[in-house]
Amino acid sequence: MSSGRDPGLQPERTRLAWRRTLLTVTVVTALAVRLASTGDPTGALIAGVIVLVWGALLVLCWPRGTGTGPARTGGRTLPLATVGTVALALLGVLLVIRGLW
């Protein structure tokens, strides 16, 4: 390994992994918004929070999936992406429990 590009294309593979993850987040957001849409104000409020979480994850993770050259590694983006995922899960629990009454 002298100079030039990494033959394993590690930065590119990592960028694509971030893009796949954002795509998955988007699908989960769509499912959650559909579950929240019951036509009442509380449902609309929860749907709004879900869309905000999605937007935050998009703004946060988008730079990791774009660009060329050496990729950034590590940093707060990873734990924050976890926080966003846990938030979506807990909002989902809230929606399911709310549906019981």
Nearest to 77 by CA among 87, 92, 65: 65
3-class DSSP state of 66: coil
Residue 5 is a binding residue for other proteins (CB under 8 A): no
- How many chain residues are in contact with other proteins, going by CB under 8 A? 39
CB of 21 to other proteins, least distance (A): 5
Q: Which of residues 34-63 bind other proteins (CB under 8 A)?
A: 34-35
Nearest to 80 by CA among 10, 18, 28, 32: 18
Separation between Cα atoms, residue 18 and residue 22, nearest integer Å: 6
Residue 70 is a binding residue for other proteins (CB under 8 A): yes
Which residues lie closer than 8 Å to 93 by C-beta, 6 or more apart? none
* Interface residues toward other proteins, by CB under 8 A: 6, 8, 10-11, 13-14, 17-18, 20-21, 24-25, 27-28, 31-32, 34-35, 70-71, 73-74, 76, 78-79, 81-82, 85-86, 88-90, 92-93, 95-97, 99-100
